Amino acid sequence: MAAPTIDVVGIGNAIVDVLAQADESFITAEKLAKGTMALIDEDRARALYERMGSGLEASGGSAANTIAGIASLGGKAAYIGKVADDLLGKVFAHDLRATGVRYETAPLHGGPATARCLILVTPDAQRTMNTFLGASVEFQAGDIDRSLVEAAQVTYLEGYLFDRPLAKAAFRQAGEIAHKAGRKVSLTLSDPFCVDRHRADFRDLIRGHVDILFANEAEICSLYETKDFAKAADAVRGEAEIAVLTRSEKGATVITAKDQVSVPAAPVARVVDTTGAGDLFASGFLYGYTRGKDFAHCAKLGALCAAEIISHFGARPEVKLKDLAAKAGLA
Amino acid sequence: MAAPTIDVVGIGNAIVDVLAQADESFITAEKLAKGTMALIDEDRARALYERMGSGLEASGGSAANTIAGIASLGGKAAYIGKVADDLLGKVFAHDLRATGVRYETAPLHGGPATARCLILVTPDAQRTMNTFLGASVEFQAGDIDRSLVEAAQVTYLEGYLFDRPLAKAAFRQAGEIAHKAGRKVSLTLSDPFCVDRHRADFRDLIRGHVDILFANEAEICSLYETKDFAKAADAVRGEAEIAVLTRSEKGATVITAKDQVSVPAAPVARVVDTTGAGDLFASGFLYGYTRGKDFAHCAKLGALCAAEIISHFGARPEVKLKDLAAKAGLA
């Protein structure tokens, strides 16, 4: 088996974010579930955009954010995901390549527009996401670049892909290619509602097919239908080889069949926007993992990257994470 | 003469910004003049975008930033400027209207694309701007909404408009309409290179046609061809009724025929990106002016708004400036 030439390849929905501040009253009036992600169609996207405040456009997509973070840490990273042949698609591709990520998925011609996510950030820094999936779910098995997946030490998959059957099939296929090549498969559960929609499928997939699972407290509790984090943590033990459970300001816990390691959250002067916190935690953890660091080191690096991303608007790093890691003695 | 129903109407180049971080070495390699604005064509814009880092897209345009700031302070504001009928044009219009600004200029069909400005922010928080003017300079006299200008207490014009003859003519026309209606005309010099390109025209215009002039140190020194700020300040005295000279961390000075008032810069925890500093100073000053406040109050409000904008990426306020002003006792 050849040594991997790429650290992590991410597969996910290729999305451009539109971030705007919103009052709590706006969230209520629009009947949104704060802190979660809702799928919306193009008409709803147009109407909601009309009513929301002045925005910032920035490349997003959960796995793409993670991959951009890995590149910013100095890792070799690649991405597979579908945009349309339009302006936002060009912005998405530019931003990813500009961070040093290998991104070669062919854009979609003549179909829906590039996916966008309308993100409302409330004064408590929570983000409420409304996604029009557009071209991102026209993604299918043929878009999986087998040689990329075989060359990557870790293939990282976002749970959001489960929302469409074609993407889900491509997702399973990527996992199989990776394992056949002797590589690792990582999955993030993405959102508690996403887990709700696909609970049985996720449980099946995790048992035996996922080596490194990422989930936050709400997601892991949803997966095992409990309100008790300790019970959920017990339930996941041994299901995935490594389960990385993030708990916002309560830090993170890494669980394996025999072991459990917890690290605190990294300090943040002012939490501005929590968009991308989980995505960037995964960047730090996976970068450390592909460098052979121990779990505590990996989780501390994850916490450091998450702290950077929540200190400003948007889900892509504003500083070179490699420098940040070096300063913190975690390079 | 009817009382004004609008505080300020701004006329300028309608531009969407693409902000990215850049090292000093990038600025040197691309032969850019740091801290200034260069005009570029579409090919150069494409090539520079290709090479620059991951970006944030945000509505910009000097006068549009000022006007958005006035609306954020609680003022009645309107804007006249030309976008194309494309995605960036829709973003620009949305963002302005979402802040409460009246914006009704018809978009351009079948011509160049919406203007964009590629802004490189160096680690010292300085911004270097590269503008593809696109649809913004297809703006002409017919686009000036006479009733809007007549209804506004102040008509605010950006010097950047001087870069194309049609826009310059529209600019002069707006000034005449405003003065005939007994209103005030305000001008910002925009950029030292812009002043270089149009020095004689600017001097002519200011003498007798401009009531409130905004300029930073480099611009006013360029206008009077001196390196000595005190000499430039002496030269402008009495040329415009009120000259508002901003000097970054050295604060600002307001000069009239008989009077001179200086205020310090407002404190900023960390200067992140100076894009929009002058634009937002003008927001605060003009808001105070239209409320009948004295010059010191106006300039302090200007400094407060400038301090907010340089504390984050982008040239549009991230908080409601009205709340900020109230907290500072400047409402």
Is pTM beyond 0.90 here? Answer: yes
Residue A137: the pLDDT is 85
Q: Tokens 């005939």 correspond to what residue?
A: B180
For the record, the structure tokens of B67 come out as: 């006007």
Closest CA to A218 of A201, A187, A195, A238: A195
| Among B54, B59, B312, beta carbon nearest to A316 | B54
- Please tell me the distance in Å from A147's CA to the nearest CA on chain B: 26
- How far apart, in whole angstroms, are the C-alpha atoms of residue A126 and residue A124? 6
Using the Cβ of B125 and the Cβ atoms of chain A, whether some distance falls under 8 Å is answered with no
Span between the terminal Cα atoms of chain A, in Å: 28
Q: What residues in A contact B52, CB-CB < 8 Å?
A: 98
- Contact (CB<8Å) A99/B52: no
Those residues of chain B that have pLDDT short of 70 are: 1
- In DSSP terms, A56 is beta-bridged to A19, B58
**A17-60: per-residue pLDDT in tens?**
999 999 999 999 999 999 999 999 999 999 999 999 999 999 99
Q: What is the pLDDT, as a whole number, of residue A1?
A: 67
Rounded Cα distance between A99 and A95, Å, is 7
pLDDT for position B1 = 66
| Contact status, residue A37 vs residue A163, Cβ threshold 8 Å | no
3-state secondary structure of B84: strand
Q: Any CB–CB contact under 8 A between A52 and chain B?
A: yes
A-interface mutation test, from B56, B309, B313, B322, most A Cβ less than 10 A away: B56
CB B65 within 8 A of CB B279: yes
Q: Which of residues 8-27 of B touch A (CB under 8 A)?
A: 20-21
Please, which residues bridge with residue A108 across strands?
A84
Mapping DSSP onto H, E and C, the string for chain A reads CCCCCEEEEEECCCEEEEEEECCHHHHHHCCCCCCCEEECCHHHHHHHHHHCCCCEEEECCHHHHHHHHHHHCCCCEEEECCCECCHHHHHHHHHHHHCCCEECCCCECCCCCCEEEEEEECCCCCEEEEEECHHHHHCCHHHCCHHHHHHEEEEEEEHHHHHCHHHHHHHHHHHHHHHHCCCEEEEECCCHHHHHHCHHHHHHHHHHHCCEEEEEHHHHHHHCCCCCHHHHHHHHECCECEEEEECHHHCEEEECCCCEEEECCCCCCCCCCCCCHHHHHHHHHHHHHHCCCCHHHHHHHHHHHHHHHCCCCCCCCCCCHHHHHHHCCCC
Across chain B, how many H-helices and E-strands are there? 13, 14
Cβ of B49 within 8 Å of Cβ of A94? The answer is yes
For residues A93 and A79, the answer to whether their CB atoms sit within 8 Å is no
CB pairs under 8 A between A and B: 64
Nearest CA in chain A to B122: A319
Q: Distance (Å) from the C-alpha of residue A261 to the closest C-alpha of chain B?
A: 35
Nearest to B214 by CA among B237, B242, B193, B195: B242
Residue A198: CB partners within 8 Å, gap ≥ 6?
A: A159, A162, A163
For chain A, which residues score pLDDT lower than 70?
1
Query: What's residue A188's pLDDT?
Result: 97
Q: Cα–Cα distance between A219 and A193 in angstroms, integer?
A: 8
How far apart are the C-alpha atoms of B292 and A251, rounded to whole Å?
52
Q: Do B56 and A57 lie within an 8 Å CB cutoff? A: yes
The residue of B48, B50, B54, B103 whose CB has the most chain A CBs within 10 angstroms, and thus the best one to mutate to test that interface, is: B54
Per the CB < 8 Å rule, is B88 touching A87?
yes
Residue A170: alpha-carbon gap to chain centroid = 17
Return the pLDDT at B82. 95
CB of A285 within 8 A of CB of A295? no
Distance CA B127, CA A19 (A): 22
> What distance in Å separates the CA atoms of residue B246 and residue B38, rounded to the nearest whole number?
21
Alpha helices in chain B (DSSP H): 24-29, 42-51, 62-72, 87-98, 146-151, 165-180, 192-197, 199-209, 217-223, 229-236, 277-290, 295-309, 321-327
Q: According to the model, what pLDDT value does residue A162 have?
A: 86
Strand, coil or helix: what is B22?
coil
Question: Using a CB-CB distance cutoff of 8 angstroms, which residues of chain A are in contact with residue B70?
Answer: none
User: Hey, is B111 helix, strand or coil?
Assistant: coil
pLDDT digits (tens, 9 = 90+) for B23-69: 999 999 999 999 999 999 999 999 999 999 999 999 999 999 999 99
Chain mean pLDDT for chain A: 95
What amino acid is encoded at A56 in this protein? Answer: L
Which DSSP helix (H) or strand (E) runs through B314? none
Distance to chain B for A257, nearest Cα, Å: 40
Angle of helix A277-290 versus helix A62-72 axis, rounded to 10 = 50
In a mutational test of the B interface, the residue from A17, A51, A57 whose CB has the highest number of chain B CBs within 10 Å is A57
DSSP-derived 3-state class of residue B119: strand
Domains of chain B: 6-12+61-110+139-326 (3.40.1190.20)
- Answer for the pair A298, A285: CB distance below 8 angstroms, yes or no: yes
Q: How far apart are the first and last CA of chain B?
A: 28
